[in-house]
């Protein structure tokens, strides 16, 4: 049985591996002047619009920090959800590396709203307060919830009206688009997002993410910031070749749709068990919209399950855990894990 800890645990999709092998021929100019990175610019334009420009980087934290640092001076502040990856899981990198102050807002479902943004969107011009410059939203959120296009548009319009720009952490943007049945553009460019961190590793890549600039007027010196942040790959063709394989076609959608479907299958199996009285003490804390299931378990059950399958506590104080599926999770593994949960709860 595979682990249900993270989609980062999955290996490399065969089509991505083939792309790496194909790119491993002859010499190519380094630091992004190769034919693959040139081709990637057109792929970005096809997915996000003619003005989009893509900057491959090594990892998600690098993408977020580089994007935010290019969007705001070091005296700026970033409004985000309290559960946002930039706040919880990046070891203070946006503040330490980019020199930006994070202004986290508590949310019940990991999603910001204009009203929640207003809790921290104040003090403009006050020399004693870090100046709110950016709103950063995660799509999907860290709690596996998804913003609709209208919700995102409401956020961007509100942020822009206050003189702020909008960054979208799209580590799982593909899963969100698959859940909504939209294109990538419809939940980024078309709703007014200015800069996007585009995920790949969680959806089949060996390594690599990207910063995608959708509104060039909102960034400054991104080429230099990427280098300064140690995110400029010398052999960039291997980053770009993977991103081309994922986004020049429907592989991103196929992978994300499958991962989402496996989470939905797990949720459905366990919902049925709850309804039949076969899973005492099991409850769910969030809707299952992408490839994550958030649940609470009775004391001690999570540790018993982890003797056979690895997964993470989300909020140990209330017994909340997170179960993740990936592009390579299969139905038999989901069913076996659901059976294990039910058997352990019933013991």
Whether the pLDDT of residue 133 is over 90: the answer is: yes
Q: What is the pLDDT of residue 75?
A: 76
Three-state secondary structure readout of 74-96:
CCEEEEEECCCHHHHCCCCHHHH
Tens-place pLDDT, residues 220-246: 999 999 999 999 999 999 999 999 999
Tell me the pLDDT tens digit for each residue of 192-221: 999 999 999 999 999 999 999 999 999 999
For 284-326, the pLDDT digits (tens) are 999 999 999 999 999 999 999 999 999 999 999 999 999 999 9
- Bridge partners of 211? 55, 197
Domains 11-249 and 252-346 share a fold: no
Average pLDDT value for the chain: 97
User: 214: which DSSP letter?
Assistant: S
Helices (H), 145-201: 149-161, 173-180
Instruction: State percent of the chain over pLDDT 70.
Output: 100
pLDDT at 347 over 90: no
- What is the pLDDT, as a whole number, of residue 3? 94
Residues in contact with 300: Cβ distance below 8 Å, sequence separation at least 6, in sequence order: none
Q: What is the mean pLDDT of residues 27-47?
A: 98
* 59 in Cβ contact with 85 (< 8 Å): no
Dihedral (CA of 163, 174, 149, 139) sign: negative
Domain 252-346 has CATH 2.40.50.140: no
- Predicted pLDDT of residue 118: 98
Per-residue pLDDT at 2: 83
- From the CB of residue 268, how many other CB atoms can be counted at a distance below 10 Å? 13
161-185: average pLDDT: 98
Torsion of CA 88, 91, 94, 98, to 10 degrees: 170
Query: Taking the domains of the chain in order of start, what are their residue ranges?
Result: 11-249, 252-346
Cis before residue 140, ω within 30 degrees of 0? yes
pLDDT given at position 74? 74
Average pLDDT of 331-343?
97
Share of the chain above pLDDT 90, in %: 98
Determine whether 241 is exposed, middle or buried from the number of CB atoms within 10 Å of its CB (0-12, 13-18, 19+).
buried
Residue 42 makes CB contacts below 8 A (sequence gap 6+) with none
User: Does the global pTM surpass 0.85?
Assistant: yes
Q: Which CATH number fits domain 11-249: 3.40.605.10, 3.30.420.280, 3.40.640.10, 3.40.50.2000?
A: 3.40.640.10
Q: How far apart are CA 275 and CA 297, in angstroms?
A: 16
């Amino acid at each position: 049985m595979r682990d249900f800890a993270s989609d980062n645990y999955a290996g490399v999709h065969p089509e991505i591996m083939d792309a790496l092998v194909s790119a491993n021929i002859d010499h190519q100019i380094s630091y992004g002047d190769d034919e693959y990175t040139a081709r990637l610019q057109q792929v970005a334009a096809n997915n996000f619009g003619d003005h989009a420009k893509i900057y491959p980087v090594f990892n998600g934290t690098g993408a977020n920090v580089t994007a935010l640092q290019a969007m705001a001076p070091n005296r700026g502040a970033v409004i985000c959800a309290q559960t946002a990856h930039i706040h919880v899981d990046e070891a203070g990198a946006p503040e330490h590396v980019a020199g930006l102050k994070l202004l986290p807002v508590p949310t019940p479902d990991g999603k910001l709203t204009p009203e929640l943004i207003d809790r921290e969107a104040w003090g403009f011009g006050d020399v004693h307060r870090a100046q709110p410059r950016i709103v950063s939203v995660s799509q999907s959120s860290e709690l596996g919830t998804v913003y609709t296009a209208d919700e995102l548009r409401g956020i961007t319009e509100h942020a822009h009206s206050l003189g702020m720009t909008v960054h979208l952490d799209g580590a799982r943007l593909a899963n969100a688009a698959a859940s909504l049945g939209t294109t990538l553009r419809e939940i980024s460019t078309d709703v007014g997002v200015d800069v996007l961190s585009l995920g790949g590793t969680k959806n089949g890549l060996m390594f690599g993410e990207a910063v995608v600039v959708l509104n060039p007027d909102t960034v400054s010196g991104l080429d230099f910031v990427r280098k300064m942040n140690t995110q400029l790959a010398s052999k960039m063709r291997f980053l770009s070749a993977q991103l081309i394989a994922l986004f020049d076609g429907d592989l991103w959608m196929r992978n994300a749709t499958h991962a989402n479907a496996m989470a939905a299958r797990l949720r459905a199996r366990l919902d049925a068990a709850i309804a039949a009285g076969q899973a005492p003490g099991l409850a769910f804390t969030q809707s299952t919209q992408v490839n994550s299931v958030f649940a609470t378990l009775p004391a001690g059950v999570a540790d018993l399950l982890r003797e056979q399958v690895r997964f993470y506590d989300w909020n140990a104080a209330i017994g909340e855990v997170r179960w993740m599926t990936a592009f390579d999770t299969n139905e038999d593994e989901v069913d076996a894990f659901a059976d294990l949960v039910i058997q352990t709860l019933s013991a």
